[in-house]
Structure 1
């Protein structure tokens, strides 16, 4: 970032603490209450064994579907498994199933043998492309009429339109056929009566009319809803459904236990007393970590939430509470990353600084050794870079300086 010229450098404004008046947390002490603790009761060994037995049954279902070489059945199995939120248990089986589908189709991706109907073609395209296979979007050209537009007869194939709608969101730059597919499906689905058909179709129509899609969804929220509507499908697989329900409850128990531990950590910082100016959003911070909801990522969720929570406090210190002189000292301390400099900070910043360093020390112990060594280093360096960016913005504010677009973008790409 270029330095401010001499004539632009103005004296710092008088030290005044600003107020943001953020509303208090809507959660209160819910995750510390007896009711929440009761909901976090451990699964017993019988339930855990039942989950393992069901997982083995699903693996056998994959084996049977693969041996039958029925592409549509295999694709539906992969799709339901992923959307029910249990795909992470069957990554190997899903890899092998999609590899088989791809190998059977690779020689005629552009021809009718890719799939004869719109639903299967679009489903195959979506699942293979999201798995990383190079699939040619020209496979959809066969659904166009002589005029080069999608055949209007497709408007009655609601399931096919929904499948094409989802596939179109995996388009890349220059794929005109998928741009056209998106416009075509939105036009026809917008006029479709969402009250008609099975629950699954009704829900998908409603999603498309609100321009939602699978790619933009949060897996845990989507799977919770999908479990309910999948159960109403007459052809639902009972084994998949039962596993999805048990697995969802098991993970929810784990997530509730984690959020309870995180809230207790947050309370131990006495946030209301030490940082009355900051946003009390610890539950919302944990919600971000649901991007990695799987059983084995508990340590990541805990550390990620604490890091985001510390960023929130630091952001509010720079934006709302800290004086320019305090921010300058705090920035130097973060650059040092050493507890020996903590006495140079005012009391409330000492609490923040100590908690910040403690979180990264905790990460060294919680994260797996194979990722901990390098990820902790880069995490600390990223935090230093973010604090530097916050300080640059604070300097602009306190010196009443308006940055150029180039200066702003260099800082905002880090701080935003």
Structure 2
């Protein structure tokens, strides 16, 4: 019979790598929410009427293509495009077909703004439009963008946003991003304040790297000040935002109650109490109504993963985490007999959560949960390796570090977990994700590299030596600043691989896997804002304003 951790530790003084994380900032704020059914019904009725009017706009015959792409962009940025997916796809397919035929519509504008917008929309929707579309804006003699474009702020902003959809080898878009960024930063300070506001926002948070729900709230605030705004679109966006917020608050209430009843934090006082931030992560992954069950399941998964992570990273001894890892691999409730006392509630809660998931999925392929369990087993094996590095003071070569840390980024596990509650997901989707295709490895890289830059100082203060930055500095003999710059450059390259994967026309990845991957990468960009702070561990500055906007404050209509 294997000895317990208590028996191991009884023979020596136990030294724990405690982290002293700040407490939850929300208390029971979201547990007492009461869903107003009557208000929801009234909003739904008004929304349905407005949707009919917007569909008529999208399908109106004889509309200029430049007007159509502006309408689609506005609808998407207002956060209401999920109501019109078929209509939008039909219009973009037509646009893509015309572009491939090099069709010239003499009534359509071909300025920088419209060209870049067309490019961005088509790529966002998985169409591989060529970046050569921008060659007409370049000087044939020196290969640079035309000097006359430097004062076209609206066009430069559109080019800047489009350039974030680039893939590897597209030098013209690399030049475009540099050209647009440089000139937007030196924009005339007396420029129209509405456009200036958009420029400042874009330079801080590119649209392609932003969480759609946050971007929608921001754009609604901008659009309502636009003198040429469409009142029907604006009203629909406001009402829809508030109705969807009601659904999100109801889900957050359910997740918060589950977490409180579980009462893990009182039993694991070393762990981060971040269930609201976990739900924010789930909303960042997909926010539409049809993914309600998937969001709840993902939020619970992230909360449990966070507690496990802290057990390995901020409390457990080598003996304890070795026993816990073995227990996870065996996945059997009888393993509690071998666990140290404080780990038993965590282990039980984890197994019970998956029993709950399997019951929820019963009507459709409950074996999906087995994919998530297998990914979790691999994740904790990675956690164990990293914890031993930390405790033993081992600094691995960078390649060895990266092999393990891509697993512990959690993004393979969370990609699998994201699909559990998605009705359209198939077993083929799970199997494809498990093959670790290039663009999903790139997703893990974005998570790991940005996380490492943002959390380096905090981990260093805790005495953690086996960090990515430390490994890179030692192996290549470079400064901290140089290592950070290299990490951010590698993250940009990984984003290009993600973009490329989303343009692949094959049976897989399916649309939902693409959506999950891109949105998970976006959450990382937002949570670790500007690579300066760990917004999950320290949510007060970075995430609290977003959570208030998404789950507390409705839009005034």
Maintained 8 Å contact 1:17/1:320: yes
TM-score, normalised to structure 2's length?
0.67
Equivalent-residue separation in structure 2 for 1:32 and 1:296 (angstroms): 23
Residue 221 of structure 1: how far off its partner (Å): 0.9
Distance 1:60 1:113 in 2: 21
The structure 1 residue matched to 2:45, chosen from 35, 46, 49, is 49
Name the SS for the 2:24 alignment partner. Answer: coil
| Cα distance change on mapping 1:90 and 1:367 into 2, 3 Å | farther
Distance 1:192 1:109, change over 3 A: farther
| Structure 1 segment 201-350 matched on structure 2, within 5 A | 201-210=195-204, 212-290=205-283, 291-350=285-344
The residue number in structure 2 matching 1:18 is 17
Secondary structure of the corresponding residue to residue 115 of structure 2: helix
- Contact residue 65 and residue 108 of structure 2 kept, 8 A: no
- The question of 1:188 aligning with 2:183 is answered yes
Mapped partners of 1:374, 1:195: distance in 2: 60
Q: Hey, which bits of structure 1, 4+ residues long, moved more than 6 A?
A: 109-114
Q: 2:120 aligns with which of 109, 123, 126?
A: 126
Whole-Å separation in 2 of the counterparts to 1:44 and 1:403:
55
d(CA) in 2 for partners of 1:109, 1:198: 36
Please state if 1:411 is matched with 2:410: no
Which of 144, 164, 172 does residue 169 from structure 1 map onto? 164
Q: Tell whether the 8 Å contact from 2:264 to 2:346 is kept in structure 1 after alignment.
A: no
More deviation, 176-185/77-86: 176-185
Contact 1:278 1:313 in 2 (8 A): yes
CA drift of 1:107 comes to: 1.5
Residues 64 and 108 of structure 2 are in contact (CA less than 8 Å); yes or no, is this contact kept in structure 1?
Answer: no
State the 1:278 CA deviation: 0.6
- Please state how far the C-alpha of 1:373 moved relative to its aligned partner: 3.6
Q: Once the 2 structures are TM-superposed, how far is the Cα of residue 405 of structure 1 from its aligned partner?
A: 4.1
TM (norm. structure 1) is 0.88
Q: Specify whether residues 184 and 31 from structure 1 end up closer, same or farther in structure 2 by C-alpha distance, changes over 3 A only.
A: same
Structure with higher Rg: it is: 1
**Contact 1:300–1:367 at 8 Å: present in 2 too?**
no
Which structure 1 segments of 5+ residues have no match? 1-11
Distance 1:174 1:281 in 2: 40
> How many pairs are equivalent?
396
Equivalent residue for 1:4?
none
Cα gap change, 1:348 to 1:155, in 2 (>3 Å): same
The question of whether the paired residues in 1 share the 8 Å contact of 2:358 and 2:367 is answered with no
